Amino acid sequence: MSEKKKTDILRLLIFSSLASAAVILVWISENKRFSHIPSGLLIAAGIAFFAEIAILLTIRSKNAVLRGVKIILLFVLNFSLFSAAVVYCFSSAIILQPHFDEKADAELRNENIAEEIFFEGENGIISGWFYNAAGKSAPTVLYFYGNYETAATRMNALIKNYKNSAFSGCNFAVFDYPAYGKSEGNCSDEALLRFSLEAFDELQKRTDRIIALGYSVGTGPAVYLASQRDLDALILYAPYSDGNDLYNNIIDIFHGPLERLISFNIKSKEYASSVKEDTLILASEKDELIPYLSSSELADKFGDNCTFIKTPEIGHNDFLGSVFVKEKTARFIKERVMQ
């Protein structure tokens, strides 16, 4: 190998090592979650980086085989470190996708039927909507939505179809997660759990009868809320037992130590046993995003107060429009809450 090629390889390795160091800094600073990074993973990253430095310092070995082994090892270390950091940094972005539905928000403002709410949360201002459709004495459904929704999106859709919905006879409230809609802050698993309590406490200023309804990603904070506050009932559409299940449904590798690479990991199953309220769970074997077995596993963690229903063959995005889901939900509310 010519001296020029050796020099080019050395420069590439140095650049690669610097890139790994930069990844560590991004990992810590951009996510603003230094205290929550699994210590073992961060220590492993540090060891890998210093190992790279040691290899670089001894890369100019006269033994060609040894030099080749060092180069390969260095690339493996860099690739492993970079891959781990990228997965950790972007895993939450797969599940949480903050956005603002300007059209739905404008329609709600023009109709002036629902009340827009703002309150101060720990991470900043939280916004939402409250639809007083049935009066103060009626129960209020507090909805925790899926990742593609916003408070304005769901409230606008509900108002248009309220009389034919499962929630006719109830009031309806939905708040935007941190970073969604007009809410401030950063969205993460811990932020969502904290948000669920803040939203409940704010809503309690208007009513003392609250049904928590969670769909998809929103089932995690809904279960957590039910484990921490007294509710009239809990309803879950397409829930997950463990946040890992959402990722393993995409690529089944996040088990054991690799679970620590996931930055969004609400473990609903750990809160379910503390829920005392009547609970309704609906899940589908045809759900392409949340495994039916994950929903079933979660249901097993609840007590005898949980009703688990397998829906007909509907996809993940069909729950809110399903006549079957609507009928089962309406009956549950009538029998467990209204009476």
Tokens of 74: 């260095």
**Residue at a domain's end among 95, 115, 149:** 95
pLDDT score recorded for residue 93? 79
My answer on whether 67 and 132 are in the same domain is: no
Token representation of residue 4: 């020029």
Place of tokens 């279960």: 223
Do the Cβ atoms of 202 and 173 come closer than 8 Å? no
Q: What is the pLDDT of residue 36?
A: 46
Domain boundary among 95, 123, 156: 95
Q: Are residues 28 and 171 in the same domain?
A: no
Q: What is the pLDDT of residue 54?
A: 60
- Of 66, 95, 124, at which residue does a domain stop? 95
pLDDT of residue 32: 43
Would you write out the chain's pLDDT as a tens digit for each of its 339 residues? 566 655 655 665 665 565 556 555 555 544 444 444 444 455 555 556 556 556 555 555 566 676 667 667 766 766 776 677 677 767 787 889 999 999 999 999 999 999 999 999 998 999 999 999 999 999 999 999 999 999 999 999 999 999 999 999 999 999 999 999 999 999 999 999 999 999 999 999 999 999 999 999 999 999 999 999 999 999 999 999 999 999 888 888 888 877 877 878 899 999 999 999 999 999 999 999 999 999 999 999 998 999 999 999 899 999 999 999 999 999 999 999 997
Q: Is 178 in the same domain as 65? A: no
* Residue 35 pLDDT: 42
Task: Measure the CA–CA gap between 298 and 282, rounded to whole angstroms.
Answer: 11
- Enclosing domain of residue 7: 3-95
Residue 189 and residue 154 in one domain? yes
Q: What is the pLDDT of residue 33?
A: 45
Domain co-membership, 309 together with 239: yes
How far apart, in Å, are the Cα atoms of 112 and each of 102, 150, 224, 258, 302? 15, 18, 32, 49, 40
Q: Residue 143 belongs to a domain with what CATH number?
A: 3.40.50.1820
Total tally of structural domains belonging to the chain: 2
